Amino acid sequence: MKHITDWEMSDLQALIDNKIQENLNLDYKRSAKLANIDSNKVNELTVDVSAFANSAGGQIIYGIIEDKHIPISIDTGINPEIMTKERIEQLINSNINPRISGIIIKQIQLPSGYAAFIIDIPQATSLAPHMAKDNKYYKRYNFQSIPMENYEVRDILRRSTTPHPVIKFSIEEFKNEPDGTVIANLTAALTNLSSEPVLYASITIAIDTRIIQELSNFGQYTRKSSVELKNEDNDILKTVSVHLYEGNHSVPGKMPIFKEVSYKAGSAEIKIQKNKIYGLGYAIACPGFSFNQMGHFVLTEEGTYQIGDNFLGFPRLANL
């Protein structure tokens, strides 16, 4: 996918055209939430930004109108003479403690002469958790930023000394078939967001049964079962049937997974149709850490797929 620094107005419009729903790591806000900012809006800004960092990271887009968490239009934007990237950065850095490293702010020019802004927030690790202007800690939950419980704060404090393995999915090498289907290559990569290396991990990868029907192995992972997952909170993907592929990563035998180093978990040829919704997900556990996530992807008519950047941004399916 495009890096956030390369986004243009057409990328914002693609979110609307493809009805990409708000989720754990994506939030749409009207420009008014950032324009003519006062103390209340500054507090809301720091609540939202710190919540993303304390959770899985993600993007806040100012300049999009949403209805029931679905984007419906781009608004008129924010006067760039009043609000600049530098001003937003200063508000975030001076009101969140400790300061969040790695935030990217992208300004996108709109036909109105005003601008939309994207704030790209990395997941915090060694400096987590981050405190908002009101001296509280927040997290992302069900499209909202909510206060963290005491045990959640303690859990985040362990991030610097605990591995944080995740699976990153990518889809490429598209080939159109005469019957209208598209053949592509699905790859799952195991990586680590923490400074503490991953020595041992138990991994389950969930792949939609419609795109990978009879495959007994996905890389070094063996298919153990097929189940139907349900999530009534997700308006786009309420149920999905998936194959579950299971495997382990352990030392010795395999190299430790150091921070931001990727290890190819598996790849396979898949068959998909444009504009249909398919499910992908994973469950992963290692000493001091466990996580599961289920989400969706869509191949558009333009031949580009829509998927969360680290595939952490969609509501989880509790029974994975």
Rounded alpha-carbon distances, angstroms, from residue 251 to 162, 189, 197, 198, 248: 16, 18, 11, 9, 10
Cα(241)–Cα(243) distance, rounded to whole angstroms?
7
Tell me the Ramachandran region of residue 13: left when phi exceeds 0, alpha when psi lies from -120 to 50, beta otherwise.
Answer: alpha
Q: Which of 141-150, 231-240, 269-278 has the lowest mean pLDDT?
A: 231-240
Say if residue 304's pLDDT is above 60: no
Q: What is the pLDDT of residue 309?
A: 35
Average pLDDT of every residue of the chain: 83
CB 173 within 8 Å of CB 200: no
Angle at 242 between CA 239 and CA 247, to 5 degrees: 140
- Fold match flag (4-160 vs 162-306): no
Long-range interactions of 292-297: CB distance < 8 A, separation 24+: 292/316, 292/317, 292/320, 293/320, 294/206, 294/229, 294/231, 294/237, 294/240, 294/242, 294/320, 295/23, 295/237, 296/236, 296/237, 296/240, 297/169, 297/171
Cα(220)–Cα(266) distance, rounded to whole angstroms?
7
Q: What is the pLDDT of residue 133?
A: 93
CB 107 within 8 Å of CB 86: no
In DSSP notation, 226-277 reads: EEEEE-TT-SS-SEEEEEEEEEEEETTTS--B-TT--EEEEEEEEEE-TT-E
Cα(1)–Cα(28) distance, rounded to whole angstroms?
19
User: Who's near 135: CB < 8 A, 6+ residues apart?
Assistant: none
CB 193 within 8 Å of CB 264: no
70-97: average pLDDT? 92
Say if residue 237's pLDDT is above 70: no
Tell me which of 3.20.20.100, 3.40.190.10, 2.60.40.10, 3.40.50.720 is the CATH number of domain 162-306: 2.60.40.10
- Top pLDDT among 303 and 101 is at 101
CB 188 within 8 Å of CB 282: yes
Say if residue 38's pLDDT is above 90: no
Q: Which of 7-11, 144-148, 289-293 has the lowest mean pLDDT?
A: 289-293
Q: What is the pLDDT of residue 236?
A: 63
Confidence of residue 233 (pLDDT cuts 50, 70, 90): low
Every domain of the chain and the residues it spans: 4-160, 162-306
Q: Which residues pair with residue 246 across a beta bridge?
A: 204, 222
**Domain 4-160, CATH class in plain words:** alpha beta
Convert the pLDDT of each residue in 170-221 to its tens digit: 888 778 888 888 888 889 888 887 778 888 989 999 999 998 877 888 988 8
Closest listed residue to residue 308, CA positions, set 213, 176, 167 = 167
Per-residue exposure over 153-180, b if at least 16 CB sit within 10 Å of its own CB, e if not: bebbeebeebbbbbbbbebeeeeeeeee
Q: Return the amino acid letter for 274.
A: K
In DSSP notation, 6-49 reads: G--HHHHHHHHHTT---BTTEEEE-GGGTTT--HHHHHHHHHHH
Confidence of residue 265 (pLDDT cuts 50, 70, 90): confident
Q: What is the pLDDT of residue 226?
A: 85
Residue 159, both tokens:
């991030």
Phi then psi for residue 72, to 5 deg, are: -120, -25
The 3-state DSSP class for residue 172 equals strand
pTM for this entry = 0.61
* Element (DSSP H or E) covering residue 114: none
Convert the pLDDT of each residue in 86-135 to its tens digit: 999 999 999 999 999 889 999 999 999 999 999 999 887 767 889 999 99
User: Among the ranges 154-163, 223-232, 279-288, which has the highest mean pLDDT value?
Assistant: 279-288
Q: What is the pLDDT of residue 120?
A: 94
Say if residue 84's pLDDT is above 70: yes
